[in-house]
């Protein structure tokens, strides 16, 4: 068997087994247009744990307007670990299957938003890979698992369509329950999709506890923020803080939040599904491999002229080396 084929097959297997989800947006407008802008803010992400000498870094690249940048090659990226430049030995752009949990807010504040939330979920499911698997958690004062993992998303969509909203909101408790369910995931790429207005007034768990659990779980959180246009005026304090809470949870995991109006929800559901479906994966073996169990920072740059002012990169910015 040719050596190149063996290396390619090995990398594909490692990527499938080790790579968590980070994807990039698709634009319905067709070819991208590079738009000049100010220096981008990079999203901080949790760590990537590795148990071999090969480190895999998922990356997505977008324009300032959010359109995905495809067609890049290995030489377009420059990668450093702890300030030392590394040789990128593996490079791919793929669409691996995911294990995703959908968390549906059915508290009283969602009463007039359930129809659009259902439409957004359906649009998200339409772009599923045949190998994808999903589960559904509904939550108000208490979270409950409605549908365990299944590849038949139509049943989950039907349950969302008939959900009724009432009661208080325990968003953080719902995420904890979903992370417990995620232990049964079949795929290494894992994500939670939260459909909510972000208010939390009944959780027993704290945000600090949730952060620790999310880092260990290695799950990306994407949120659909279902907000009214006059949201900040007529809602109680915990709901006014909802957008910030959703944003904090998403960014802490390397995911993102979509604060959208009710009218835009179906389109955003499609956009989010496309973002989960694609990614670049860069692989390298550290020039000075360590087995110290410590955190090692990763820094990635684009090697194209003025790329830093025109494009945004999103990637996990570090990993823990295996211990002795």
Judge whether 143 and 177 are in contact, CB under 8 Å: yes
Question: What backbone phi and psi angles, to 5 degrees, belong to 24?
Answer: -135, 155
pTM above 0.75, yes or no: no
Q: What is the pLDDT of residues 270-321, one digit of tens each?
A: 778 877 777 788 999 998 777 787 888 899 999 988 887 889 887 777 777 7
Q: How far apart are CA 110 and CA 226, in angstroms?
A: 8
- Cβ atoms of 310 and 39 closer than 8 Å: no
Q: Which residues pair with 83 in a beta bridge?
A: none
Asked whether residue 266 is domain-assigned, the answer is yes
- 256 located within any domain: yes
Q: Which of 19-23, 80-84, 205-209, 251-255 has the lowest mean pLDDT?
A: 19-23
The answer to the question of residue 89 being in a domain is no
112-126, 156-170, 267-281, 287-301, range with the lowest pLDDT: 267-281
Q: Measuring CA to CA, how many Å separate 215 from each of 55, 71, 246, 249, 321?
A: 18, 31, 16, 11, 15
Q: How far apart are CA 176 and CA 219, in angstroms?
A: 12
Q: Is residue 270 part of a domain?
A: yes
Q: What is the pLDDT of residue 5?
A: 42
Q: Average pLDDT of 219-234? A: 72
Helix axes 242-252 and 207-217, enclosed angle (nearest 10): 30
Let me know if residue 201 belongs to a domain: yes
2 occurs within a structural domain: no
Q: What's the CATH code of the domain at 242? A: 3.40.50.410
Count: domains in the chain: 1
Domain that includes residue 188, residue range: 99-276
Residue 281 belongs to some domain of the structure: no
Estimate the crossing angle of helix 171-181 against helix 207-217, to 10 degrees: 20
């Amino acid at each position: 068997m040719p050596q190149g084929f063996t290396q390619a097959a090995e990398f594909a297997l490692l990527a499938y087994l080790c790579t968590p989800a980070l994807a990039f947006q698709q634009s319905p407008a067709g070819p991208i247009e590079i738009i000049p802008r100010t220096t981008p803010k990079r999203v901080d992400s949790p760590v990537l744990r590795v148990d071999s000498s090969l480190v895999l870094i998922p990356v997505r690249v977008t324009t300032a307007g959010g359109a995905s940048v495809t067609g890049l090659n290995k030489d377009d990226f420059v990668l450093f670990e702890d300030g030392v430049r590394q040789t990128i030995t593996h490079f791919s752009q793929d669409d691996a299957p995911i294990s995703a949990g959908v968390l549906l807010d059915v508290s009283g504040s969602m009463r007039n938003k359930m129809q659009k939330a259902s439409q957004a979920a359906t649009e998200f499911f339409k772009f599923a890979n045949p190998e994808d698997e999903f589960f559904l958690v509904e939550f108000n004062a208490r979270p409950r698992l409605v549908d365990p993992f299944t590849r038949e998303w139509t049943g989950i969509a039907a349950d969302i369509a008939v959900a009724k909203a009432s009661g208080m909101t325990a968003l953080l408790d719902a995420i904890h329950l979903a992370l417990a369910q995620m232990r049964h995931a079949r795929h290494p790429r894992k994500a939670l999709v939260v459909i909510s207005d972000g208010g939390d007034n009944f959780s027993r768990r704290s945000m600090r506890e949730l952060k620790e659990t999310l880092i260990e779980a290695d799950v990306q959180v994407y949120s659909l923020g279902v907000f009214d246009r006059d949201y900040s005026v007529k809602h109680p304090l915990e709901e006014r803080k909802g957008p910030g809470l959703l944003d904090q949870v998403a960014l802490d995991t390397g995911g993102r939040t979509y604060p959208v109006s009710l009218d835009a929800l179906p389109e955003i559901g499609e956009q989010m599904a496309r973002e989960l479906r694609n990614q670049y994966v860069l692989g390298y073996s550290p020039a000075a491999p360590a087995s110290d169990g410590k955190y090692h920072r990763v820094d990635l740059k684009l090697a194209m002229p003025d790329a830093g002012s025109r494009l945004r990169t999103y990637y996990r910015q570090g990993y823990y080396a295996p211990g002795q």
